Amino acid sequence: MLAQDRGVRRAFRARRAPESWVGFSREVSPARGDRWAEGRESRRKSCATTCILTMQTQELVVGRTGRSLRKGTGVNLLHKPLFHTLALCGIVFANLLVMPAPAWAANSGQPVFNIVAYGAKNDGSAPATQALQRAIAAAKAAGGGTIYVPAGRYTSGPIELFSNMTLEIDAGATIAFPVAPLPFTRGRYLGVEALVPMPLIGAHDVENVTITGRGTLTTGDYEQWGTAYGGAAPKRSSDAENANGPHWDHLLKALEARQPVSEADYRAAAPELRPSFVFFMNARNILVENVHIVGAPMFVVHLLYSENAVVRNLMIEAYPGPHANGIVVDSSRFVRIADDYIDTGDDGIVIKSGKDADGRRVNRPSEDVAITNCTVHHAHGAVVIGSETSGGIRNVVAGNITAVDTENGIRIKSRRGRGGVVEDLRFDNWTMENVGTGIVVTSYYVMGGEGSTREEPVSERTPAFRNIAISHVTISGATRQVAEIDGLPEMPIAGLRLSDILGSGKQGLTARYTNGLELHHVQITPGQGPAFAIEAASNAELDDLAAGKHLPDSPVLRLTKSPGAVVRACHALPGTQTFLSTGLGDLQSIHLVDNTLDNAKLPTMEE
């Protein structure tokens, strides 16, 4: 046994992390643009509490002054065994000398490593960090296996996963992650590559990893995590500032202006950021299922630069909290999301691909994503595309979705400056109750720290939306609007089709700057104004439109600046005052085909 222990220790001492994941700086080159550069010595200066490990300086930097606490302990934060990182950051060192023999799973023949056998106390009387890391180290030495967490209450620091493993949190088990300063590692935050706090559970450059069980993972909320590095959570003093803090705001503006950004800038901004709860980067063959997640520092489940991932049957409760998105697909592909309940303070399920100049530099799309059988509560949007669209988003389907009390139902958003092409999306079989706006497709989104934009020539900064189909949707009682469609005059929304829509709300459907807009079998009951108000629609086809009740003071359809539009098979309810209203001189360019408008006092009018 002693010889075996020595061999294990020698193996861990010998292993070095790839240098591409250790200490980095930002360089700006006129010829190549900004890029990640490895191998430069990390600067020690930090204006806020930091904890950064680098191979080049071989030191751990902790504290507001950036004081070096220990030499000769350079570690890659995600590639090296997490027990090194936890020990150096004052969490708990994992003792490898005690290595119980694993059990074996009857159904798979793979070893099972019960954390209780490695010293965990299931009554919460002591942190389970050491036991978890001992079990993980033993499983890694065995070439893989299941880390089993039996019923009980445990607390732990961050958990690093590895290839060919399962983390099983059994029914009745709860792992709580205290709010505390965490080491920083390379990642992406709101679409921008940066130094970020390491995730509570995560891994990168791994494959064949599962998180499962009927247990609970829990931590503090967004506001609580804002105080993790000391002081109060950052607040915006105006809409011109980002909600995370002044150093992050400075970093974003410098990147967008293509100004030189130093490693010190990244390190100054890092303490203003929050970790993801469950995070995979550069990973493949990932399964996250069945667990109950309560609270969130930031994104709850975050898939970055990954492929072939399944996220299913989760219960996520992370309301309230800005940026506490439930499931985030970020420049990833071949992702399936199914059978989840998500109650969160930001977007429920969101697809992203990088933000502005930094996102275009990376230029990695999100694509081939299937979403089905999910319920979303309280979120900003139930299923959201963007606003980080710079790398492109395509081939997304979302069906059999229920949205309750969300600010938006289906939300597709970007803005000038993002760039990227969003295309080939399908949304089908939805119900929405008490949402703010049921369907949103907009090129005018404004994030915290951003202002309005002006028309500009089409360039890589211009976002494009095309080939989007939304069908079989019921929207009941939208508190703002049934649907809002808002393209750019220089880049209209192209090929948007809405069919079999039944909606009611304070206002109806508005659309402007579209090309090839199709509305088929759509009935809308607005509280005020027209049921449909469409402006600047080229090649529009409007088929079987109706208001759910007669509108004595407003037309059913207001259609302006849309020459060549086809209005077909529409009908007016008894008591309708005006069915179709156009701008002066517009009516002669509109094609009216097979409409039944006899019940309207004025079938058409120009005004």
Domain boundaries defined on the chain = 348-353+364-447+462-498, 529-607
Helix axes 129-141, 2-14, angle to 10 degrees: 90
**In 3D, which of 70, 390, 307, 17 has the Cα closest to residue 186?**
17
Q: Is 526 helix (H, G, I), strand (E, B) or coil?
A: strand
Per-residue pLDDT at 550: 80
Q: Per the structure block, which two tokens stand in for 412?
A: 């597709």
In degrees and rounded to multiples of 5, residue 20 shows phi and psi of -65, -10
Place of tokens 């190549």: 32
Sign, CA torsion 204/210/214/215 = negative
* 348 conformational bin, left if phi > 0, alpha if psi -120 to 50, beta if neither: alpha
Give the integer Cα–Cα distance in Å for 51 and 39: 19
In angstroms, rounded to a whole number, what is the distance separating the alpha carbons of residues 125 and 128? 9
- In order of 43, 44, 50, 596, the CA distances from 67 in angstroms are 11, 7, 10, 79
Question: What per-residue confidence (pLDDT) applies to 447?
Answer: 87
Residue 227 DSSP symbol: T
pLDDT given for residue 110 in this prediction:
78
pLDDT for 170 equals 98
pLDDT score recorded for residue 151 = 98
**Do residues 353 and 359 touch, judged by C-beta distance below 8 A?**
yes
Q: 497: Cβ–Cβ under 8 A, 6 or more apart, which residues?
A: 468, 469, 470, 471, 517, 518, 519, 520
pLDDT in tens, 494-552: 999 999 999 999 999 999 999 999 999 999 999 999 999 999 999 999 999 999 988 88
The pLDDT tens digits for 190-236 are: 999 999 999 999 999 999 999 999 999 999 998 899 889 876 555 54
Whether omega before 320 lies within 30 degrees of 0, making that bond cis, reads yes
**pLDDT, the chain, mean:** 85
pLDDT of residue 276: 97
How far apart CA 525 and CA 502 sit, in angstroms, is 8
CA distances from 467 to 445, 518, 564 (A): 20, 11, 20
DSSP state of 232: P
**Per the structure block, which two tokens stand in for 494?**
């192209």
Amino acid 448: pLDDT? 76
Q: How distant is the alpha carbon of residue 314 from its chain centre? A: 16
Give the pLDDT score at 99: 55
Task: Please report the pLDDT score of residue 32 as a whole number.
Answer: 32
Q: Which of 162, 183, 209, 205 is nearest to 20 (CA)?
A: 205
Q: Which of 32, 18, 37 is nearest to 79 (CA)?
A: 18
CA separation for the pair 352, 355 (Å, rounded): 8
Beta bridge mates, 309: 286, 335
**DSSP structure class, residue 444:** B
**Which residue from 142, 140, 94 is spatially nearest to 118, judged by alpha carbons?**
94
The count of other CB atoms within 10 Å of the CB of residue 446 is 14
Q: What is the pLDDT of residue 443?
A: 98
Query: What is the structure's pLDDT at 4?
Result: 41
| DSSP element (H, E) containing 129 | helix 129-141
Is the CB of residue 93 less than 8 Å from the CB of residue 130?
yes
φ/ψ (deg, to 5) at 421: -110, 125
Residue pair 346/325 in contact by the 8 Å Cβ criterion: yes
Is-contact 565 537, C-beta < 8 A? yes
Other CB atoms closer than 10 Å to residue 433's CB: what's the count? 15
Segment-wise mean pLDDT, segments of 10 residues, the chain, 607 residues: 39 33 30 35 34 32 33 36 38 42 63 97 95 97 97 98 98 97 96 97 97 98 88 50 78 92 95 96 98 97 98 96 94 98 97 97 98 97 98 98 98 98 98 98 90 94 98 98 98 98 98 98 97 98 94 93 97 94 95 96 95
Q: The whole model's pTM is what?
A: 0.84
**Tokens 């994503």, located at residue:** 369
CA distances from 32 to 28, 180, 361, 604 (A): 8, 38, 10, 58
| Among 577, 604, 572, CA closest to 591 | 604
> What integer pLDDT is reported at residue 222 of this predicted model?
87
Residues 6+ apart with CB under 8 A from 108: none
DSSP 22-51: S-EEEEEETTTEEEEEESPPPP---SS-EE
Question: Which whole-number Å values give the CA distances from 40 to 156, 319, 580, in the listed order?
Answer: 33, 41, 67
- pLDDT at residue number 273: 93
